[in-house]
Amino acid sequence: MDNLDVQRKWWWKILYKVGIDIVPGAPRKFLIYFRKRFFYIAGGVALFIFISLIGLAKYSESPRFCHSCHIMEPYYKAWKSSKHSHVACVECHYPPGSPKTILWKKFQALSQVAKYVTRTYSSKPFAEVEDSSCLQCHSTRLLEGRLVTEKGVQFDHKAHLTTTRRDRKLVCTSCHAQMVVGNHMEVTWNTCYLCHFKGMVEGRELHPVGGCTACHKLPEKDFKIGNMNYNHKDFSGKRGVACADCHQDVIQGKGNAPKERCFTCHNQPEKLDKIGDLAFIHENHITKHNVACFHCHTEMQHKVSMPGKKELSYDCSVCHLDQHTGQKDFYRGIGAKDVPQSPSPMYLANVDCVGCHISKPVESMESHFKGKTFKGSHEASCVKCHGEKFRGITAQAKKVIAEELSDVKNKWLKVKSLLAASSLNPEEKRKVQKELNDVEYNLAFIENSHAAHNIYYAAQILRKMDSVLSRLGENVGVPLPDLSEHPLMSGGFCATMCHQKVGVKVPPEFVNYKGKKMPHSAHTEMMPCVKCHEFGSHKEIKMKFKTEDCQACHEL
């Protein structure tokens, strides 16, 4: 090769220059050999690069590629343990469509790789999954109509996706978005609660979007709470009792969207100033960019207290100190001295205070300045829930409680006066005085806590006080009248005041005891029920008599 050839071939001139620079004094044969095979070598290199790019592109579609970045670890784990673990990430995160769309998504993915290499990535990556990706596999969802979720909630996809809700156009990820281990792209219940309950709770008023029965069916079966059987259809179906009358504490949280949450994604003043434009905010975040609601809104919860474990949810102590403590404790069946706990059946049935205190207060000048409270209403609560047969029972219960409380109080005053004049030594007087103090406490508990909240507990407390006072009277040397035959203390109030009135079968005239026919009615006329039975709460009746007790009157 002469110099003329070098001058004519520009590419050779460059190669020759490189060869000379790389290998000074390179033999002429080497340069000629390299020149003849240049295109083969260049083609091989290009082919290698091309195949590598295809392999890299294919590998980039694998979940393992996503997992190679440590910030994707929680997302990968959530996907791996979810129902979608058999579906590759790109099947959802790359929407189906034209090659142009796929190339754009590929470019975005490569930009994420570049950000990772240059350490400019965000620790909270955000992806937009379009509805078209979901509908590749779930295209029949819109046609299935109403379905029932694992939680027993009724739901219809078509009504949510084909129409606007609260003037917002929802997308699949509005409800299927939350990322926790084992729950990847499944239902985000917090979003449901936010939409159905935000702004729908005002004090005792609860008006969820669609109503309670839009999501929940009334249970058809009876259920037992404590020792009582209930059926939702009897209360909410036949009598129209509102769900919120019993389930008052089912909503917690306000679902507000504080401005501080905007800073998680935005720092531009012009965007932050848009927080008041709700139409713009929801259009851009929900409809256009599929942002999950819980990214902006605080959490709301929806749950029902378990029966028998209910805690009255209203924290009145924010404004009122020690208000209604006695009523709450009496309702829960706790607080009396030396008397076993006995919760009201209504408490065990999860009925909150506002289930009965339902009558609006009368407006007056006094209430204007001192505030007002809802009143308990026999008509609007007892009769509405339990029916006409229960009309008047509340008033009768209050009357019986007041009469027996008065008799026990007089008996207590008698013992108190006898103690002062007794000849007991100081130690004995101290013991008697302590028991009298406990009786005084229980008297005040019943009188000030409105014992009608739990008549069964009231009966146990009165029975205990009467027994203690009778014993103390004997200790000071003066027998006192036995009040155990009074309706509440004897246990007879169940049959006389309630069962007969509402049509419940009263105890039969005869019963069998140890193989013998015993005239039950004749015994109830001669002695109080507590002579043979021990009474607790509703339907909690135990036999306490023994054969020798019968022998006091009978020969067996």
What's the one-letter identity of residue 35? R
- From residue 27, how far is each of 21, 34, 391 by CA, in Å? 13, 11, 119
Residue 316 is encoded by which pair of tokens? 């009145």
Closest CA to 381 of 208, 197, 204, 203: 204
Claim to verify: residue 328 and residue 467 sit in the same structural domain: yes
Q: Are residues 507 and 495 in contact, defined by beta-carbon separation less than 8 angstroms? A: yes
Q: Which residues of the chain have pLDDT under 70?
A: 1-38, 57, 98-102, 105-106, 108-109, 121-126, 142-143, 178-183, 226-227, 248, 305-323, 365-371, 495-496, 505-507, 525, 536, 547, 549, 555-556
Residue 366 is encoded by which pair of tokens? 């006094």
In a domain, 205, yes or no: yes
- What's the angle, vertex CA 448, arms to CA 392 and CA 460, rounded to 5? 70
Claim to verify: residue 274 and residue 337 sit in the same structural domain: no
What integer pLDDT is reported at residue 10 of this predicted model? 56
- H/E element holding 90? helix 89-93
Q: Are residues 448 and 323 in contact, defined by beta-carbon separation less than 8 angstroms? A: no
Domain boundary among 239, 268, 302: 302
Q: How far apart are CA 462 and CA 405, in angstroms?
A: 7
Which of helix, strand or coil describes residue 134?
helix
Per DSSP, the residues of 169-220 read ---HHHHB--EETTEESSB-HHHHHHHHHTT-EETTEE--TT-GGGT-PPP-
Q: How far apart are CA 346 and CA 376, in angstroms?
A: 14
210: left (phi over 0), alpha (psi -120 to 50) or beta: left
Q: H helices then E strands: how many in the chain?
A: 28, 16
- Bridge partner residues of 155 (DSSP): 147
In a domain, 196, yes or no: yes
- Bridge partner residues of 184 (DSSP): 179
Claim to verify: residue 146 and residue 194 sit in the same structural domain: yes
DSSP 8-class letter at 168 = B
In a domain, 234, yes or no: no
Total residues belonging to the chain: 556
Q: Which residue has the tokens 């069998």?
A: 512
Claim to verify: residue 282 and residue 142 sit in the same structural domain: yes
Q: How far apart are CA 396 and CA 390, in angstroms?
A: 11
Claim to verify: residue 298 and residue 327 sit in the same structural domain: no
Query: Backbone phi, then psi, for 88, in 5-degree steps?
Result: -65, 150
In a domain, 358, yes or no: no
Claim to verify: residue 410 and residue 541 sit in the same structural domain: yes
Claim to verify: residue 548 and residue 512 sit in the same structural domain: yes
What integer pLDDT is reported at residue 406 of this predicted model? 92
Claim to verify: residue 255 and residue 332 sit in the same structural domain: no
Residues 6+ apart with CB under 8 A from 433: 419
pTM: 0.53
Residue 283 structural domain: 134-220+250-302
Q: How far apart are CA 455 and CA 459, in angstroms?
A: 6
Domain boundary among 267, 302, 337: 302
For the chain, how far is it from start to end, CA to CA, in angstroms?
Answer: 140
Q: Which residue has the tokens 């036999």?
A: 543
What integer pLDDT is reported at residue 23 of this predicted model? 46
- H/E element holding 546? none
DSSP 8-class letter at 544 = -
Claim to verify: residue 294 and residue 334 sit in the same structural domain: no
In a domain, 235, yes or no: no
pLDDT digits (tens, 9 = 90+) for 136-169: 888 777 667 788 888 888 888 888 888 887 777 7
CB-based contacts of 421-425 (< 8 A; 24+ apart in sequence): 422/476, 422/477, 424/475, 424/476
Q: Give 246-266 as a 3 state SS string.
A: HCCCCEECCCCCCHHHHHHCC
In a domain, 77, yes or no: no
What's the one-letter identity of residue 7? Q
What integer pLDDT is reported at residue 7 of this predicted model? 47
- H/E element holding 223? strand 223-225
What integer pLDDT is reported at residue 21 of this predicted model? 45
Claim to verify: residue 403 and residue 296 sit in the same structural domain: no
CB-based contacts of 537-544 (< 8 A; 24+ apart in sequence): 537/226, 537/227, 537/333, 537/342, 537/343, 537/344, 537/345, 537/456, 537/457, 538/226, 538/227, 538/228, 538/345, 538/456, 539/227, 539/228, 540/227, 541/491
Query: Backbone phi, then psi, for 543, in 5-degree steps?
Result: -80, 130
Claim to verify: residue 215 and residue 282 sit in the same structural domain: yes
- What's the angle, vertex CA 98, arms to CA 94 and CA 103, rounded to 5? 60
Q: Are residues 91 and 136 in contact, defined by beta-carbon separation less than 8 angstroms? A: yes
Claim to verify: residue 298 and residue 394 sit in the same structural domain: no
Residue 158 is encoded by which pair of tokens? 């078509």
- CA quadruple 88, 91, 92, 97: dihedral, nearest 10: 170
In a domain, 226, yes or no: no
Q: Are residues 484 and 469 in contact, defined by beta-carbon separation less than 8 angstroms? A: no
Q: How far apart are CA 438 and CA 510, in angstroms?
A: 40
DSSP 8-class letter at 539 = T
What integer pLDDT is reported at residue 408 of this predicted model? 92
Residues 6+ apart with CB under 8 A from 296: 257, 261, 262, 285
Residue 458 is encoded by which pair of tokens? 């009231």
Residue 107 is encoded by which pair of tokens? 């470019």
pLDDT digits (tens, 9 = 90+) for 83-126: 888 888 878 887 777 666 667 766 766 777 777 777 776 666 66
How many CA atoms within 13 Å lie on the side-chain side of 121?
20
In a domain, 38, yes or no: no
Task: Please give the tally of structural domains in the chain.
Answer: 2
